[in-house]
Structure 1
Amino acid sequence: MAEHAGPAQHTSMATVGERGGITTFDAVVVGAGPAGSAAALELARAGHRVALVERGSFPGAKNVYGGVVYGRVLDELVPEWWEQAPVQRWVTRRQTMMMTPTQSMTVDFRTEAWGRPPYNGATAHRGEFDAWLAGKAEQAGAELLTSTVVTGLLRGVRGEIVGVRTDRPDGDLTAPVVIACDGVNSFLAKEAGMYPDGQVEHTTLGVKETLALPRETIDERFAVRGREGVDIEMVGCTRGIPGGGFLYTNLDSVSIGVVLGLTELGKAGIRPEEIIADLKRHPAIAPLVRGGEITEFSAHLIPEGGYHTMPKLTDDGILVTGDAAAMCLAAGIWLEGVNFAIGSGMYAGRAAAAALSTGDTSAAGLAGYERSLRDTFVLADHKKLARAPELLLGDRVQNRYPAMICDLLEGVFQVTNPEPKPGMRALLRRSAKKHGVRMRDLAKDAVAGLRAYG
């Protein structure tokens, strides 16, 4: 069993002392997003003194989100959470749209089952949702420290993590366990030597506008009522840059935006707002957002590389969760992040509490974290869909297939009188040739898709 150094044994204590002292906790959680709040909630419920550190003026102040929360993971944390959580609308209609500048093909699914418990997903504003979940952690006994920037890690005499440096005038925070929930490109995980190099090519930029519209207008345009909501995901709308578009309904606004590969965006020399402007002018989207007044414009980096780009998740005195651990599932028909953040934070909190109870907060003592992740959806889903990001962000899926499919369907529905109707195989070959898709590549991608989603 590892014994963690007390304050007198820290290698950096002289410097810390000069800065005004030390505050000691059982655990320090960095970042009051969904992952951090879930971790702090579990630790506080287990009776531990936990600091939940947030650089913003309140939880959610610096978080950008305009999408769907899949909240069933909250069943374990907050019973009947749907009666308390500040959601906007319950998603009862989901669309996947293939687009060219002048065409669109949409798969549209809706169900009444998603409009009642157990709900499948909901649109939410992160400023409201994060504050609510952090409030649950506070109610359980966690100490929320806002407007506090963590500037680095503290190490003990054997190199183990024993706390964090902060910009607080009353000094740094020491604890046997630090849980890094500091978001994409986690500087804490990097400082701890847990992140591989070369993450930029696996990072996307999400850019979003919030457009105010009357609630009645949204209900009419999207064919919903009450608290029903719509989630639309799009591909083929990003000027050839790998990524996609989205449109979500809130109570009295809609969130519209794009997710763009960071490296390719830089090479293209295009501003993201230009692509959003294109999207708002598209004939399939313009009628839905007409007259909307921009009330918010925001951008956020997203880790979309998947399972093979995750950092080391556990080391002596530290655990990494949520976006900091690249736990964003970007698999086309599944676009999820908040649920993985909550799940990983919850299991990190439980593993930290178990390690504290035994006095062993080494990597071995914290190993229960990864075991829990492997045994549940958090890593199981990422591992199962590990090949999906590479397939979905490839040139054919991004740039050729949307146009090929739209042209194919235009040919299918086009009445060619007095000429006879062409056969489906002829239409497919014609459309594939027009857009530079070889039949063998189409077959190869179909097999790759079956393997990625099998």
Structure 2
Amino acid sequence: MTEPAFDVVVVGAGPAGSAAALEAARAGMSVALLERGPYPGAKNVYGGVVYGRVLDDLVPGWEQTLPVQRWVTRRSTMMLTERQALTVDFRTENWGGPPYNGATAHRADLDSWLASHAQEAGAVLVTSTTATGLLRDAHGTVTGVRTDRPDGDLRAKVVIACDGVNSFLAHEAGLFADVPGKRAAHTALGVKETLALPRELIEERFGVRGRHGQDIEIIGCTGDVPGGGFLYTNLDSVSIGVVLSLTGLAAAAVRPEEVLARLKEHPAIAPLVQGAQLKEYSAHLLPEGGYEAMPELAGDGILVAGDAAGMCLAAGIWLEGVNYALGAGMHAGRAAAAAVRADDTSRSGLAGYRRALEESFVLADHRRLRRVPGLVFSDRVQHLYPRLVCDMAEAFFTVDNPRPKPGLRKLALTAARAHGLKARHLLSDALTALRSFA
């Protein structure tokens, strides 16, 4: 039998992959980090919010070197109808300095930064290389990956699949219980534009200064397609986009760029992006099924992490993925190293990975919020509640003398009747939210 060239091969140099490679290399393992682009981040077009507290363990002192665009000090949730907008806006100076809460960053910068730390720890970065399949021994245990390199395959004691939402390696390993139509139902399409704006104009329009910035998450902005929107400030650009249900997009027979164009034209959004110049348009598939749609996380000789494992939290007021990828990658690297040291890279030998994730925020958050994706993508949250809440707000703030001001109870009952809201639906949704967020 050919001796493995590496203890660990990590496929994909995104946040999960680089975190896994970093931890495994630190543990003394020989590690190869495969990236199909010419450099980490080359194929990524993400520009969004990174929640970096998990980096305290991975890269101590990360705040000093992370390629930050802006530190998020304003966090807003916006509900839209065709002509209305209601925003809950929170800002704090506490997020503008250590310990920071979140930051906007470009993935091309972030991925290269994190991969460089993995290299410094001893990982070998192999770029412009695609893993085309798994290598197995006579017992079916994964023993490495096939590649499109002229010099052939890479053998390893453990493979960590961080190869994105369509993880071919995880599917080949049998970690997903494939059901026809299930993957599409648990997958969304994110489309985003990066729009250039002068730095001083961003600060004026969004009410921020210096390296402070704003993150706006938007509900009710995608028309007949279940989904949501976002608007983030970078240093001299803004990122605006929508996340759309794949099945809903197909049923509505509408193009994603049309949905995004309508969001940009909304009266609450248009003044913020007026005069901006398009720098980049991008589209990317996202796992949106949450805890219930995740695959098995370990097999004989293989672990899966990040988007490849469906670790994206789409919970309406939260849209997070990078922090879960970093946490999962970190624990995958540690679990792989422990299994190699114990000379047991079987499924049971790698089972410590899931136990560690269950005890960490990664699976604890997803498990607690497992009902939320279904709630957020429901017709009531997508359409009825934004209209109901905006109508209530409009009626509450309308001065209609000589009539007396209406009470909130009367406004709520009037709005509920006008929009056909049933008490049982409100109670059901309230219970789901209470169980998830309480």
Scaled to the shorter chain, the TM-score interval is: over 0.9
Residue aligned with 1:417, SS: coil
CA distance in 2, matches of 1:452, 1:436: 25
CA distance in 1, matches of 2:408, 2:359: 45
Structure 1 residues 51-94: Cα deviation after superposition (integer angstroms, max 9, x where no partner): 10001111111123221100110000111101011010000000
Aligned equivalent of 2:412, options 428, 439, 446: 428
Asked if 1:50 corresponds to 2:31, the answer is yes
Aligned amino acid, residue 327 of structure 1: M
Aligned amino acid, residue 216 of structure 2: I
Structure 1 residues 338-383: Cα deviation after superposition (integer angstroms, max 9, x where no partner): 0100100000000111111111111111111111101111111111
Asked if 1:307 corresponds to 2:307, the answer is no
Which segment is superposed worse, 124-133 or 273-282? 273-282
Tell me the residue number matched to 1:3. none
Structure 1 residues 168-190: Cα deviation after superposition (integer angstroms, max 9, x where no partner): 00010001100000010211000
Taking structure 1 as the reference length, the TM-score comes to 0.94
Tell me the residue number matched to 2:169. 188
Contact 1:384 1:452 in 2 (8 A): yes
CA distance in 2, matches of 1:240, 1:405: 19
Aligned equivalent of 2:220, options 236, 241, 252: 236
Tell me the residue number matched to 1:79. 60
CA distance in 1, matches of 2:428, 2:32: 51
Contact 2:219 2:316 in 1 (8 A): no
Tell me the residue number matched to 2:152. 171
Contact 1:36 1:345 in 2 (8 A): yes
Tell me the residue number matched to 1:7. 2
Asked if 1:365 corresponds to 2:355, the answer is no
Q: Residues 382-393 of structure 1: matches in 2 within 5 Å?
A: 382-393=366-377
Aligned amino acid, residue 80 of structure 2: M
Contact 1:34 1:341 in 2 (8 A): yes
Aligned amino acid, residue 158 of structure 2: V
Which segment is superposed worse, 44-53 or 433-442? 433-442
CA distance in 1, matches of 2:216, 2:294: 28
CA distance in 1, matches of 2:391, 2:423: 16
CA distance in 2, matches of 1:164, 1:447: 46
Contact 2:161 2:304 in 1 (8 A): yes
Shift of 1:269: 1.0
Contact 1:304 1:326 in 2 (8 A): yes
Aligned amino acid, residue 85 of structure 1: L
Shift of 1:431: 1.3
Residue aligned with 2:72, SS: strand
Asked if 1:201 corresponds to 2:185, the answer is yes
CA distance in 2, matches of 1:433, 1:166: 61
Which segment is superposed worse, 272-281 or 211-220? 272-281
Q: Residues 58-77 of structure 1: matches in 2 within 5 Å?
A: 58-77=39-58
Residue aligned with 1:26, SS: strand
CA distance in 2, matches of 1:214, 1:196: 48
Residue aligned with 1:87, SS: coil
Count of aligned residue pairs for this structure pair: 435
Contact 1:152 1:165 in 2 (8 A): yes
CA distance in 2, matches of 1:290, 1:272: 21
Shift of 1:298: 0.3
- Alignment identity in percent? 67
Asked if 1:214 corresponds to 2:198, the answer is yes
Residue aligned with 1:68, SS: strand
Shift of 1:337: 0.6
Shift of 1:311: 0.1
Residue aligned with 2:36, SS: coil
CA distance in 2, matches of 1:151, 1:91: 39
Aligned amino acid, residue 225 of structure 1: R
Which segment is superposed worse, 186-195 or 415-424? 415-424
Tell me the residue number matched to 1:135. 116
Shift of 1:332: 1.7
Structure 1 residues 254-276: Cα deviation after superposition (integer angstroms, max 9, x where no partner): 00000000111011111111111
Structure 1, unaligned stretches of length 5 or more?
1-5, 9-22
CA distance in 2, matches of 1:162, 1:40: 17
Shift of 1:420: 2.3
Contact 2:242 2:260 in 1 (8 A): yes
Aligned amino acid, residue 250 of structure 2: G
CA distance in 2, matches of 1:293, 1:25: 47
Residue aligned with 2:307, SS: helix
Tell me the residue number matched to 1:123. 104
CA distance in 1, matches of 2:53, 2:46: 18
Contact 1:388 1:453 in 2 (8 A): no
Aligned amino acid, residue 410 of structure 1: E
Shift of 1:415: 1.1
CA distance in 1, matches of 2:81, 2:153: 54
CA distance in 2, matches of 1:201, 1:389: 11
CA distance in 2, matches of 1:410, 1:398: 19
Taking structure 2 as the reference length, the TM-score comes to 0.98
Structure 1 residues 80-138: Cα deviation after superposition (integer angstroms, max 9, x where no partner): 10101101000000000000011000000000000001100000000000000001101
CA distance in 2, matches of 1:302, 1:70: 18
Tell me the residue number matched to 2:331. 347
Structure 2, unaligned stretches of length 5 or more?
none
CA distance in 2, matches of 1:451, 1:42: 35
Moved over 3 A (4+): none
Contact 2:224 2:252 in 1 (8 A): no
Tell me the residue number matched to 1:256. 240
Shift of 1:423: 2.6
Aligned equivalent of 2:127, options 146, 162, 171: 146
CA distance in 2, matches of 1:230, 1:155: 48
Tell me the residue number matched to 1:245. 229
Aligned amino acid, residue 154 of structure 2: L
Shift of 1:44: 1.1
CA distance in 2, matches of 1:274, 1:308: 31
